[in-house]
Structure 1
Amino acid sequence: MAREHRAVLLCAFTVFTSLVVGVEERQRGDECADLNNATWQEYRQQRFKLQVQYLLLTRRNMDCAQMFNQESLSETQQQQQQQQQQQQPSYFNVSRPTTVIVHGYRVTGRKPSWVKQLARALLRAQDVNVLAVDWVYGASFAYNLVVEDYKEVAVQISILINQLQQHGCKLESFHFIGISLGAHVAGFVGTLFDGKIGRITALDPAGPMFKGADTFDRLDPSDALFVDAIHTDSDYFGISIPVGHVDFFLNGGKDQTGCARSLFPSILVYFPVYGYVICDHMRALHVYMSALNGSCAMVGIPCSSYEDFLKGRCLDCDVFKGTCPTIGLSANSGIVVSPVPREQQLFLLTTSSPPFCSRHFLLQLEVSPLDKSAEVEVTLTTGNLRTERRLRLQTDTTVYRTVLSHPVALCEIDSIKLKNTGARFYRQSEIHVRSVCLSEFPSLRREEPLCVNNIHVRRGAPWSHDFVQVCGSF
């Protein structure tokens, strides 16, 4: 079924689920602000037009968001001169950088539950003002109509940015984080300011209705001084082309580990499937939040394609003078060269659960000439952690290279196992492995690869070898 038909089915599904869920009354706490919900009934009655509001979170109010508007700016300016006992002064600090979170399309009109989690992760990492843009009313239900309004949302945000500038904020101090369609909203804000905004981070920027769009109508590197993007669902809801100075394509940018493959065109009638099919799309957000914790580095390797990356043809970051870009808050993603290259595709492999980061290894296997095709399963083991990769061996090739990932460093791997998994009658019964070598990349220490020579792997008799506890030979 064509992707356009899938989009139509998804729209029909969202209407159906909204009717099932029914009217959800919007509730707001007496003290803490929150994002809105939009209901299908309100949408049908056109009771709400495009509305944009802002929530402020800082280290002083991480757990209790504050509404932010022009009056808040006035309070910020006056609060040092007079303290109002009946009205809480704004926590906004013009001397600190400001991070602006822009959510994307809301299928059922429900507020994004992850906004405050992302804000807290940002605030734990740096002392900034976090402004969450709430445009749920305009972002819900009919995707094609939402896309028609996204530029108007950007215009309204730009008005606030202009006001903040008048109070002392500098354009280069703003960092926009746009999720899905929110990435293109952030991009148009950048266009309105001639690309002088400090940074835009796009988390799986939306693909439908944007893949063939002009750069004026979508996010591109000219929208900010630095634009970085994370792609995790480029075959469905995300965009497949580079949109930033650096674009991280996780696991190729499509199917993410731990996200089950769905038959979603045929099962859209079931309500639970929505969370099922957006797993890939939302992985960019979860990986980014995990990267903010700083528990491990998530490094991207520049390469012309994912296929070349998996074949071990891209092992260094020479285009960046040796410093590989990383996901997170490092200035320019850690790039030190100037000017920063544009539309650089970066690839990395991840695990299926937080913290998602993994080490990259080049596996090189050399075998004696084969009479028949064969298949070898390679397994790396560390404690209860296992990484498996199958290699199909042909009669006309003797050297094979492939990239695989494992959560720990090379010297921490416990064992390696080779297994001949070929069929009994149609594949090679015994494989003579001249050498198998494993090396980690990118490697600052330039470690020598770990190699084993002269191995015979018979069908039904796997070969394995344990590592020593320190880095060295097998």
Structure 2
Amino acid sequence: MSQGHKMILLCAFTVFITSLVLGVKDRHPDECADLNNTTWQEYRQRRVKLQVQYLLLTRKNLDCAQAFTEESLTEGQRLSYFNISRPTKVIVHGYRALGSKPSWIKELAWSLLRAQDVNVVVVDWIYGASFAYNLVVENYKEVAVQISVLINQLQKHGCKLGSFHFIGVSLGAHVAGFVGTLFEGKIGRITGLDPAGPMFKGADTFDRLDPSDAQFVDAIHTDSDYFGISIPVGHVDFFLNGGKDQTGCARSRFASMYGYVICDHMRALHVYMSALNSSCPLIGIPCSSYEEFLKGNCVDCGVFRGSCPAIGLTENSGISVSPVPKEQKLFLLTSSTSPFCAHHVLLRLEVSPLDKSAEVEVTLRTESLGREQRVRLQTDTTVYRTVLTHPLPLCEIQTIELKNTGSRFYRQGDIHVKSVCVSQIPSNRQDVPLCVNNIHIRRGAPWSHDFVQVCDY
């Protein structure tokens, strides 16, 4: 370790000792704990930048968080709800521009506790995470050192490093990553929810979340062009809708401030909570780029021996291969609202050569739902592949409709479709595409075909 890194750790430990002396005010044992708020004036007057506290939630105290320290477990203190024999989820929030406590903390904790009987420890570092982002970034390693002290103390009481799962939101993902660095990657798991990008995109792996920080690292990317990071940082990285613009988030600055500024960034958190609460899977498909994924050039999970990674709490995201591949980019499309799940369908369209450009609207329809996809046809191409989504699985699709929407005079009048096929993604050897051959589509005259099939659930 370099001299500079040693100085960082020394300074951080000094802050830790100071904060213990000045401390967060003591609470009565029966008083419910809550995260802090701070104001700009308090921030300027505060003598110590960091005052980290910990809150504990379990299935026994869902509605009343317990202030948690190592002393909570020692003899002579009020018995803690912390159960050493159970896994521990550690939630780490990120940057707080206005000094307010995160409103989503309890919802995430409750989602985790509904899914598993665990200890949920919330790291509250509001005082060091607020207002000036560049100064907050200077604090994150000090916060990680403080957390590592608590983890060391819990180890003395019998907790195993492999039983800890850190869930870091935005900048909190890099805090969790540095905790993992301090424990040489022996932490069980780290999940990064849209890990922060500003000041980290070009950072060394020592300074940001990376696969070496835990036995398994997964990340969800939803705002990689602004507040999130654009590079893979885990063993598996889920890039939702390409990792940038999310469906249902405002694209205009005249919309709500939330919708325009942080909706994309916070979508990773909401999708993760939805995955914990929902029975519908959110599965990623490995691919080199989003463009190649949309073209239908990536349709299976062969790199994982057929087992596609899923967002959630499944061990190693459901990956059974060993060792787990690193920095695997996974892509999936989502809907705009919870539960965000969507079934991926590969559309393959082959047409006879065209004299002019054209456009075909393809609709997959059930009794109550229809999903359209427009395909632009060019004169130099005859085979088109694209990925689209539908709320229902392919086996429930009853009708496929084709419509020649090229109404302008310079568009192709009639289109001869050699074949149109739809198949489920991810695909396997047992899947048989649904195909219709030799179709003639006149301009303004829609064509449809009914499928007869039964879902084998």
TM-score, normalization by structure 2 = 0.90
- Give the alignment of 1:150-189 within 5 angstroms: 150-189=140-179
Q: CA deviation at 1:33?
A: 1.1
Query: 1:408-459: per-residue Cα shift (whole Å, max 9, x none)?
Result: 1111123222222224212111111111100002245722110111222222
Q: CA deviation at 1:337?
A: 0.7
For residue 339 of structure 1, what is the aligned residue in structure 2? 323
- Give the alignment of 1:315-326 within 5 angstroms: 315-326=299-310
Q: CA deviation at 1:227?
A: 0.2
**1:99 matched to 2:85:** no
- Give the alignment of 1:383-394 within 5 angstroms: 383-394=367-378
SS at match of 1:124: helix
AA at the equivalent of 1:454? N
- Give the alignment of 1:77-156 within 5 angstroms: 78=75, 88-156=78-146
SS at match of 2:173: helix
For 2:448 and 2:37, how far apart are their aligned partners in 1? 56
Structure 1: 5+ residue stretches without partners: 1-27
AA at the equivalent of 1:237? F
**1:428 matched to 2:412:** yes
For residue 67 of structure 2, what is the aligned residue in structure 1? 67
AA at the equivalent of 1:109? G
- Give the alignment of 1:356-395 within 5 angstroms: 356-395=340-379
SS at match of 1:215: coil
SS at match of 1:284: helix
**1:439 matched to 2:439:** no
| Matched-pair contact (CA < 8 Å) for 1:262–1:277 | no
Match of 1:246 among 231, 236, 239: 236
AA at the equivalent of 1:223? D
For residue 17 of structure 2, what is the aligned residue in structure 1? none
Match of 1:458 among 442, 446, 453: 442
For 2:187 and 2:97, how far apart are their aligned partners in 1? 29
For 1:383 and 1:137, how far apart are their aligned partners in 2? 54
User: Structure 1 residues 47 and 388, CA, compared in 2 at 3 Å: closer, same or farther?
Assistant: farther
For residue 284 of structure 1, what is the aligned residue in structure 2? 268
Structure 2: 5+ residue stretches without partners: 1-26
Q: CA deviation at 1:471?
A: 5.6
Identity %: 79
**1:216 matched to 2:190:** no
For 2:182 and 2:245, how far apart are their aligned partners in 1? 34
For 1:383 and 1:208, how far apart are their aligned partners in 2? 47
For residue 37 of structure 1, what is the aligned residue in structure 2? 37
For 1:467 and 1:363, how far apart are their aligned partners in 2? 15
For 1:72 and 1:180, how far apart are their aligned partners in 2? 29
- Give the alignment of 1:185-200 within 5 angstroms: 185-200=175-190
Query: 1:279-312: per-residue Cα shift (whole Å, max 9, x none)?
Result: 1111111111111124111111111111111111
For 1:404 and 1:427, how far apart are their aligned partners in 2? 24
For 1:387 and 1:259, how far apart are their aligned partners in 2? 20
Q: CA deviation at 1:383?
A: 4.1
Q: CA deviation at 1:399?
A: 0.7
For 1:275 and 1:138, how far apart are their aligned partners in 2? 26
For 1:47 and 1:192, how far apart are their aligned partners in 2? 27
SS at match of 1:130: strand
For residue 55 of structure 1, what is the aligned residue in structure 2? 55
For 2:187 and 2:337, how far apart are their aligned partners in 1? 33
For 2:65 and 2:429, how far apart are their aligned partners in 1? 45
Q: Which moved more, 1:151-160 or 1:254-263?
A: 254-263
Q: CA deviation at 1:47?
A: 5.6
SS at match of 1:418: strand
For residue 400 of structure 2, what is the aligned residue in structure 1? 416
- Give the alignment of 1:297-336 within 5 angstroms: 297-336=281-320
Q: CA deviation at 1:255?
A: 0.9
SS at match of 2:59: coil
SS at match of 2:206: helix
For 1:155 and 1:384, how far apart are their aligned partners in 2? 55
AA at the equivalent of 1:340? V
AA at the equivalent of 1:240? S
For 1:110 and 1:379, how far apart are their aligned partners in 2? 46
| Matched-pair contact (CA < 8 Å) for 2:250–2:259 | no
| Matched-pair contact (CA < 8 Å) for 2:167–2:190 | yes
| Matched-pair contact (CA < 8 Å) for 2:299–2:427 | no
For 2:199 and 2:363, how far apart are their aligned partners in 1? 42
For 2:208 and 2:353, how far apart are their aligned partners in 1? 52
TM-score, normalization by structure 1 = 0.87
SS at match of 2:34: coil
SS at match of 1:147: helix
AA at the equivalent of 2:388? L
Q: CA deviation at 1:469?
A: 5.4
For 1:167 and 1:414, how far apart are their aligned partners in 2? 59
AA at the equivalent of 2:297? R
| Matched-pair contact (CA < 8 Å) for 1:42–1:48 | no
Aligned residues: 430
For 1:113 and 1:211, how far apart are their aligned partners in 2? 27
